[in-house]
Every structure is written in structure tokens, then in C-alpha cells.
Amino acid sequence: MAASETSFLIRPIRPDEYEALGELTVAAYHSIPAEMPHQTIYDLQLRDVAGRARKSCVVVAVGPAGELLGGVTYVSGPDDPYSEELREGEAGVRMLAVDPARQGRGIGHALTEWCLERARAAGRLRLVLHTGAFMPAAVHLYERMGFERLPDLDFSPAPGIDLIAYAFDLGGPSGS
């Protein structure tokens, strides 16, 4: 790949990007090779980037010309409204999405690394996330990055949607 295809910047989202990230996130979730129950309802949540940005930390990956490549919601801890049962000392990841036309270029990896670094800087003990077996690319990414399965944290937010938990141990409050 040419450098222009692999270079991007991760930064906080701007309000003028909320709608575009919402549509990109919906497109990414619709590219999953499985039919998801309750997708229409979940699409409303995926599109509500403005709501997430008001309550949590949303960052985007942008290309050299400012094009939106992907985004993620970083969940700072158990008091964050987007926490999925996080415990004290944990941070989380929600709604990570990469433009389907740009997947496989390291954008999801970089967004996840950004979340890991943010959690380390905040003194978190581990970063926890949920995905599904129906998201094989995500499962592969997290396992390749060193996340470990935590079956005791698996849950089903709605009938037919079984989420599996992964965590990355950050090595203690100092991140060492």
C-alpha cells in the first residue's frame, strides 16, 4: 500500500462529523456477514454519535485529506453511561467501526491502541469490550492484539444477540 493509503490521524470527533460517523458506523455494522436481530433499533443507537459524544469520548480516524475512516467510543469507567457492567479500574470500548471500503488497513487496530493508551494514562487496570462471534474480523483483531476471552462477562442485550467479552490487562494502575 502507498503511504497515503495507510496514514491517518486519530483525534476527538468534531460536531460537524457526527452524522457522517453515524452513517459510517451503520454501514460497518451492516457489512458484518451475519443477519443481526434488532438491527433497525440498534441502527438508531449507532447513528446517535452526538449523544455518545455528549456523554463519553468519541474519537475518529481521518485520512490525509480529512476523510473520515472510522471511529470509536472510549468508555472511561463504570460511571460512564455507555459502560457495559464495567468494574472499578476498568475502561471500555464501544461501537468501533471502520469504513467498509477501508477495512484491513490498520485503522481498527489504531483506534483500539488509542483506547488502550487512554486507559493506561488514566491508570485503568484493564480495557474490556464486547463483540460477537458473528463479527469474525473483530474477534481476530482483538485476539491478535492480545485481548483475552472472559466468558464470565458474556451477555445477551436482546434475544438473539450473544455478546462475548474480551479484556486487555494493562498491568496495574501505573500501566507497567
In a domain, residue 80? The reply is yes
In a domain, residue 111? The reply is yes
What's 154's domain CATH number?
3.40.630.30
In a domain, residue 57? The reply is yes
Does residue 38 sit in helix, strand or coil?
coil
Place of cell 483506534: 111
Per the structure, the complete domain to which residue 150 belongs is given by 3-169
In a domain, residue 176? The reply is no
In a domain, residue 43? The reply is yes
Does the pTM exceed 0.75?
yes
pLDDT at residue 161 tops 90: no
Q: For residue 109, which of 138, 83, 84, 149 has the smallest C-alpha distance?
A: 138
What's the pLDDT score for residue 131? Answer: 92
- Who has greater pLDDT, 45 or 19? 19
In a domain, residue 175? The reply is no
In a domain, residue 127? The reply is yes
What is the domain count for the chain?
1
